[in-house]
Amino acid sequence: MTKGSDRKPDLIVLDNTPASRAAPLVDAFRRRISYLRLSVTDRCDLRCTYCMPERMTFLPKKEVLTLEELYELAAGFIDRGVTKIRITGGEPLVRRDIMDLFSALGRRLGHGLEELTLTTNATQLAGHADALVKAGVRRVNISLDTLDRDRFARLTRRDALPQVMEGIAAAKAAGLKVKLNAVALKGVNEDELPDLIAWAHGQGHDVTLIEVMPLGDVEEERLDQYLPLSDVRDQLERRWTLRDNDASTGGPARYVDIAETGGRLGFITPHTNNFCAGCNRLRVTATGQLYPCLGGSERVDLRAALRSDDPQAELADALERAMMIKPEKHHFRMDQRGADPHLARHMSMTGG
Ligand code: SAM
Ligand code: SF4
């Protein structure tokens, strides 16, 4: 049980019988796990200043799971009741032959899997949008923090806004439902968020704003980047009418509808709000490390299980352990000035 928790976890006894290997995944706080975020690479063609340093050290390729292993893992989760899989990274579309994984997983849609989605920076989306639809993807999350080309180049350290806009347009043209994610950054894009939202809603895209999280060393002070979304909401309420929307996706966002734009806006506020009680998700990195909580360092090695002599039994055992250690809630705290990051792991390992 994690420090500071107020709910009592159930006692889970390791059970690795063939019957238990097919049982749904339920953690010690009786949360049913139905959502997997699967990172397929830690590499990326951008270098967002809040995500990673310019000279990022990437994992040696041999440590990364093969596409076959990624599929095998994902299929194992589907067999244990996971109905939604989001492919993420790093930037998933920079991984060679990644569409083979989408196609293979797409064949599980309607056979245990209900939704296959993707989070992308959209730099390469124009070339993949049609194939994603063909594979069965219906919705994508696209990260976009600014509409200003110079600002984008400073923020991502790459001059790629034109490709990103092309990718967003291609996704729309292919019939994908697009949601834009924007990280709110103090003094960087805070003056532009209303315009970004107005533009996105005009295009028919929902938007979710995210507070920056203290993951990994990024060369800048986290405290200088951090903009509480309560401030952003105040700013938006001076311009628009925001109505709370109770729609829940089982995820961490709280939603409002904006009367004037007709669009929906989500807020992900790990620092000002706790979203853990209904958490239904797990994250697996490209090296097969399962992190049951984005805000914690607990992990279980699925790659070792997958590469063992008895992958089925070892995997079942590893998943059982993950259910035991999934904490009741995260304990994010913003870094102190000059201190080491709260968690050494970058967001590009787990994909958000
Ligand atoms: N490369 C893809 C992209 O940018 O959409 C997928 C991976 S990226 C790590 C997933 C999401 O995490 C993006 O929306 C990004 O803005 C967000 N992100 C990255 N680092 C973050 C941080 N330290 N705090 C909050 N969000 C972060
Ligand atoms: Fe790459 Fe996404 Fe991280 Fe930006 S947020 S550096 S696009 S992984």
Write the pLDDT tens digit of every residue in 74-113.
999 999 999 999 999 999 999 999 999 999 999 999 999 9
Residue 63 pLDDT > 60:
yes
Q: Tell me how far apart the alpha carbons of residues 138 and 177 are, in angstroms, rounded to a whole number.
A: 6
Contact 168, 125 (CB under 8 A): yes
Q: Tell me how far apart the alpha carbons of residues 170 and 167 are, in angstroms, rounded to a whole number.
A: 5
| pLDDT level of residue 64 (50, 70, 90 thresholds) | very high
Domain ranges for the chain? 19-180+278-350
Q: Tell me how far apart the alpha carbons of residues 211 and 222 are, in angstroms, rounded to a whole number.
A: 11
Distances (CA, A) of 98 to 71, 104, 129, 140, 170: 11, 10, 13, 15, 18
In this structure, the residue with its CA closest to atom 26 of ligand 1 is 212
Ligand 2 atom closest to residue 121's alpha carbon, by position in its atom list = 7
Ligand 2 atom closest to residue 90's alpha carbon, by position in its atom list = 8
Q: Is 348 in the pocket of ligand 1 (CB under 6 A)?
A: yes
> What is the whole-number distance in angstroms between the Cα of residue 165 and the centre of ligand 2?
16
pLDDT of residue 335: 55
Q: Is 352 in the pocket of ligand 1 (CB under 6 A)?
A: yes
Residue 2 pLDDT > 70:
no
Bridge partners (DSSP) of residue 281 are 35
Contact 189, 196 (CB under 8 A): yes
| pLDDT level of residue 238 (50, 70, 90 thresholds) | very high
Average pLDDT, the chain: 90
Distances (CA, A) of 299 to 84, 271, 289, 321: 21, 22, 6, 9
Q: What is the architecture of the domain spanning 19-180+278-350? A: Alpha-Beta Barrel (3.20)
Cβ–Cβ contacts within 10 Å for residue 118, how many?
A: 25
pLDDT of residue 7: 66
In three-state secondary structure terms, 3 is coil
Question: What are the backbone angles phi and psi of residue 8, rounded to the nearest 5°?
Answer: -90, 125
Enter the tokens of residue 113. 């899997």
pLDDT of residue 3: 42
> What is the whole-number distance in angstroms between the Cα of residue 52 and the centre of ligand 1?
10
pLDDT of residue 241: 97
In terms of Cα–Cα distance, which of 341, 329, 79 is closest to 226?
A: 341
Pocket of ligand 2 (CB under 6 A): 44, 46-48, 51-52, 89-91, 121, 143, 348
Q: Average of pLDDT values for 184-209? A: 97
In three-state secondary structure terms, 314 is helix
Q: Is 327 in the pocket of ligand 1 (CB under 6 A)?
A: no
- The one-character DSSP state at 208 is E
Q: Tell me how far apart the alpha carbons of residues 287 and 302 are, in angstroms, rounded to a whole number.
A: 8
Q: Tell me how far apart the alpha carbons of residues 23 and 37 are, in angstroms, rounded to a whole number.
A: 20
Ligand 1 atom closest to residue 215's alpha carbon, by position in its atom list = 23
Q: Tell me how far apart the alpha carbons of residues 120 and 333 are, in angstroms, rounded to a whole number.
A: 26
Mutate to test the pocket of ligand 1, among 119, 156, 225, 335 (most ligand atoms within 8 A of CB): 119
Residue 12 pLDDT > 70:
no
pLDDT of residue 249: 61
Q: Tell me how far apart the alpha carbons of residues 51 and 180 are, in angstroms, rounded to a whole number.
A: 17
Question: What are the backbone angles phi and psi of residue 316, rounded to the nearest 5°?
Answer: -60, -40
Mutate to test the pocket of ligand 2, among 37, 46, 168 (most ligand atoms within 8 A of CB): 46
| pLDDT level of residue 170 (50, 70, 90 thresholds) | very high
In this structure, the residue with its CA closest to atom 21 of ligand 1 is 51
Cβ–Cβ contacts within 10 Å for residue 215, how many?
A: 25
Ligand 2 atom closest to residue 347's alpha carbon, by position in its atom list = 3
> What is the whole-number distance in angstroms between the Cα of residue 43 and the centre of ligand 2?
9
> What is the whole-number distance in angstroms between the Cα of residue 211 and the centre of ligand 1?
11
> What is the whole-number distance in angstroms between the Cα of residue 23 and the centre of ligand 1?
32
Enter the tokens of residue 68. 């076959």
Mutate to test the pocket of ligand 2, among 43, 50, 143, 213 (most ligand atoms within 8 A of CB): 143
Express each pLDDT in 102-152 by its tens digit.
999 999 999 999 999 999 999 999 999 999 999 999 999 999 999 999 999
- Interior/surface letters 67-91, b for 16+ CB within 10 angstroms, e for the rest: bebbbebbbbbbebebebbbbbbbb
Helix residue spans in 203-279 (DSSP H) = 222-225, 229-239
Q: Is 164 in the pocket of ligand 1 (CB under 6 A)?
A: no
> What is the whole-number distance in angstroms between the Cα of residue 316 and the centre of ligand 2?
32
Mutate to test the pocket of ligand 1, among 141, 143, 271 (most ligand atoms within 8 A of CB): 143
The label of the residue with tokens 């080309």 reads: 149
Contact 65, 303 (CB under 8 A): yes
Express each pLDDT in 198-224 by its tens digit.
999 999 999 999 999 888 887 777 788
